[in-house]
Amino acid sequence: MKILITGTSGRLGGALKRCYEPRHEIIAPSHAELDLARPDDLEVILNGLQFDLLIHCAGMVNPDACERDPLASMQVNAESPAQLAGFCHQRGVKMIHISTDYVFNSVLESPLGEAALAHPINAYGRSKLAGEQAVLAASSNALVARVSWLFGGHLPSFPEQVLKAALSGQEVAAIADKWSVPTSVDDVADWLEQLMIQCPTASGILHVCNSGQATWHEYAETTLQLAHELGWIPDVPVVKPQALDGFAGFLAKRARYTVMSNARLSQLLGRVPRTWQEALRDSLARSL
């Protein structure tokens, strides 16, 4: 298959490219070659490329940057994906559009299915929700894959930050009242490839995450426990719990509960995705 993947300098796009390269022909335009801040230029650029599938990972993903420039976030996360989807629809090409659990801010604490009401509370979430809706309006056979709390790949993420703090003897602190599902980029790559082969017509919204849920605090504790088991740290430091309310480090509001149910993904794959703890153990062990 010829797969066009956007955002390959980023965490998820990079992981998909590395995973698929041995079996597929990958076209991976850089940010400068396919600039989402210039929606009107996209069609001309896409016209020069031949591909059977588009996996759209690129975007403005920092919630605080989106809060500072909501117009740019709408352009990059909604207007440009709509252009890409329109092009794919005209060409009869499948598009997988990567979205986020940040479209949610649930008051109920039970895992959210694809039909759950989206209610973003920051500019990033609003732009990603607008992007999902625009993509599905432009291309009814597109698949919107919502992912959450990604780890793994070539860029440091939350586990590496926690380990860095622990290894340098700093206090480790993490928010203990905000829940989501840590998810391995390598698992996302495997699931999407399996879906392309087994269920190429799957469309609409799909929650693509490992099984289970965690707070940042539980995520940090598990990371440190696994690092100890791998022999990286002599003992497991205590993680200081922090509260989301009044947390000084964020400009954009953060949703408290965005845990997604992966029941539809399980049904499509014919198996329940492994837990995030198993995936994290693998990811850390492989980075040794």
Q: Which residues bind ligand NAP (CB under 6 A)?
A: 7, 9-13, 31, 34-37, 57-61, 76, 98, 100-101, 128, 147-150, 155
Nearer Cβ to ligand NAP (182/237) = 182
Nearer Cβ to ligand NAP (27/233) = 27
Amino acid at 80: S
Separation of alpha carbons 69 and 97, rounded Å: 22
Minimum Å gap between C-beta 246 and ligand NAP is: 23
Minimum Å gap between C-beta 45 and ligand NAP is: 11
Nearer Cβ to ligand NAP (143/147) = 147
Minimum Å gap between C-beta 56 and ligand NAP is: 7
3-state class of 4 per DSSP?
strand
Selection from 254, 232, 252 nearest residue 242 by Cα: 254
172-175 and 179-180 beta bridge pairing: unpaired
- Length of the chain equals 288
Contact present, 115 and 204 (Cβ < 8 Å)? no
Nearer Cβ to ligand NAP (34/78) = 34
Nearer Cβ to ligand NAP (41/236) = 41
Separation of alpha carbons 127 and 75, rounded Å: 8
Separation of alpha carbons 51 and 171, rounded Å: 49
Separation of alpha carbons 228 and 167, rounded Å: 11
Nearer Cβ to ligand NAP (37/285) = 37
Selection from 187, 216, 191, 210 nearest residue 202 by Cα: 191
Minimum Å gap between C-beta 7 and ligand NAP is: 3
End-to-end CA, the chain: 32
Q: What Rg do the C-alpha atoms of the chain give, in angstroms?
A: 19
Minimum Å gap between C-beta 74 and ligand NAP is: 12
Minimum Å gap between C-beta 169 and ligand NAP is: 27
